[in-house]
Amino acid sequence: MLYPISTQTRTVMDLSGIWKFSLTENHDPRTPLSSEEVMAVPGSYNEQGVLRRIRNHVGSVWYEKEFEVLHALQKERLVLRFGSATHQAKVYVNGQLVMEHKGGFMPFEAEINDFLQPGKNRVTVEVNNILDYTTLPVGNYSEKDGVKKNAPNFDFFNYAGIHRPVKIYTTPKSYVEDITITYEVKGENAQVHFKETVQGDHDRVRFVVRDEEGAVVCDTYEKSAVISEVKLWNPLAAYLYEVEIHVEKNGETVDLYRESFGIRTVEVKDNQFLINGKPFYFKGFGKHEDFFVNGRGLNEALNVTDLNLMKWLGANSFRTAHYPYSEEMMRLCDRQGIVVIDETPAVGIMHGFNFALFGGDGEKKNTYEVMDTREAHEQVLRELIARDKNLACVVMWSVANEAATQEEGADAYFAPLIQLTRDLDPQKRPVTMVLIMMSMPHNDLVSKYLDVICLNRYYGWYINTGELEEAKSALRKELSDWKTAYPDTPVMFTEYGADTVAGFHAVDDIPFTEEYQVRYLQANHEVFDEFDHVIGEQMWNFADFETSVGIIRVQGNKKGLFTRQRQPKMAAHTVRERWMKIPDFEYKKR
């Protein structure tokens, strides 16, 4: 799905702003929404609503906004597009259903020409936040005596609402529907291939590629072209070309779309992760789309701030834990040279996940006998790869986070999904999954399918709490076991961290203090550096974030290197000292 842009043949109208809002469960969209409440879009209604009845609401809510379309545009194709709505949405225009979408983190759209009327129009959206054993993420939904409960099967807040921009964009009747860009780098040149989908009456399609200075490097009607003396996209040194796709009829351009793209190679070989043929070392974080007031709603100023803080630290990468991030963030990373592991919202595929704390049913069952998430999983893989396939910043797909990959049935569930990921990706990026601590070399059932084994490990925190020497010994043993079990597969750490309350201090190794966070990270780094098959470290988490209420959480998860306000903890300076000395390439030479 193409990102909406304005060109000489297209225009974009933004519907973001203040919308009417209501918790009414059974609103009839054929009548205007009668409510004095409002919500800003994009944004989570949980944060904006403040009060418990809104913040903790379970079920449907309603949004509504009036709009008008310039008369001159009504001869064009008009498309209503949502960047996301969490987690399910039904969209009505003037009371008529125009589209539905399940899944809270991907864009969806529909043509609305046939639903419009002269003058003012009304878009109404029903957004439902219920998560169960068929959805991703997974939730523990229950209803008793008319009371709905929706305990998440994951450790972050179940923010809901219209989280990303709502836009109406136009195209001509003949238009570019999609473009796929692949390439082969051959010495100093690159052979670039274009695979376009065009709808409507047209004669031919022209491809004009420009470099960053705007100079034309190729102009062709062929499906491929050679870029001589190609400039490669590199971590923290991005270089983006731009292709203009001209749909022509009778020698005239009837539609024009522009797509930026970087050229780089990615390969896992000899226990190394190679970008442009050089061994890359991941330095970075797991993150969340999470901030005051916005909740999970798009905040572009925050995105810029976060990337600048990463650069200050010497970081070069992050994982989109635990769901696809906004298109705006992904496009920013492409431009800024930030390496991204792109993850689906497949979190919580584990029956009984911390049910004592998060409200499960109290009886542990086999995950793959009770979960029914395959359909949602396949859908989001198709949508995610279709959306992000051309981004140079995306170097690896993460199929899931912390699933029960040690349980019977994991092999049969995940092997087809991993293969589907490989089949769908035109650039054939490496594929991984992020393994929970219970999934070890002797019992994990999916590692054999992965290009990189990604580990979430908390020795010294959840295990060996406060005992860092014991933690280092346990971590060394596990890394040795992975090396023995999978000698040709590199390992990276996608989570390791210790909850730290800013301002808490102690001389001894006391958990939750800033000093302990420093020593905890140093202990992990000491062990990472001892193993040449460890290709990266992405700590948990970039910044403190909101979670469900629980006795092990102090106003959320405090494992951030920064507070939720983006103030650095003591460990940030320690990590910066380490990472500024670690080059992006050739850190662990063979």
- Enzyme catalytic residues: 402, 495
Residue in the structure block whose two tokens are 């996608």: 494
Coil/strand/helix, residue 329: helix
Quote the CA–CA distance of 320 and 341 in Å, as a whole number: 6
DSSP string, 418-463: HHHHHHH-TT---EEEEEPTT--TTT-SSGGG-SEEEEE--BTTTB
Kindly tell me the sign of the dihedral angle through the C-alpha atoms of 438, 440, 443, 449: positive
- Percentages helix, strand, coil for the chain, rounded to the nearest 5? 20, 35, 45
Q: Which of 416, 452, 456, 417 is nearest to 435 (CA)?
A: 456
Angle of CA points 571, 336, 456, to nearest 5°:
45
Residue type, 558: K
Quote the CA–CA distance of 560 and 554 in Å, as a whole number: 13
Report the DSSP pairing between strands 491-495 and 534-539: parallel
Quote the CA–CA distance of 290 and 284 in Å, as a whole number: 17
Report the DSSP pairing between strands 431-435 and 452-456: parallel
Report the DSSP pairing between strands 339-343 and 108-111: unpaired
Quote the CA–CA distance of 527 and 468 in Å, as a whole number: 11
User: Residue 578: phi, psi to the nearest 5?
Assistant: -70, -50
Report the DSSP pairing between strands 108-111 and 204-210: unpaired
CB 44, CB 129: distance < 8 Å = no
Quote the CA–CA distance of 79 and 77 in Å, as a whole number: 7
Residue in the structure block whose two tokens are 């396939």: 389
Kindly tell me the sign of the dihedral angle through the C-alpha atoms of 473, 478, 479, 480: positive
Angle of CA points 104, 79, 168, to nearest 5°:
80
Q: Tell me the residue length of the chain.
A: 590
The answer for residues whose C-beta is within 8 angstroms of residue 416's C-beta and 6 or more apart is: none
CB under 8 A, 24+ apart: contacts of 50-56: 53/23, 54/23
Q: Which letter does DSSP use for residue 334 in this model?
A: H
Q: How far is CA 489 from the centre of its chain?
A: 24
Residue in the structure block whose two tokens are 């020593």: 519
DSSP string, 48-109: HH-SHHHHT--SEEEEEEEE---GGGGGSEEEEEES--BSEEEEEETTEEEEEEE-SSS-EE
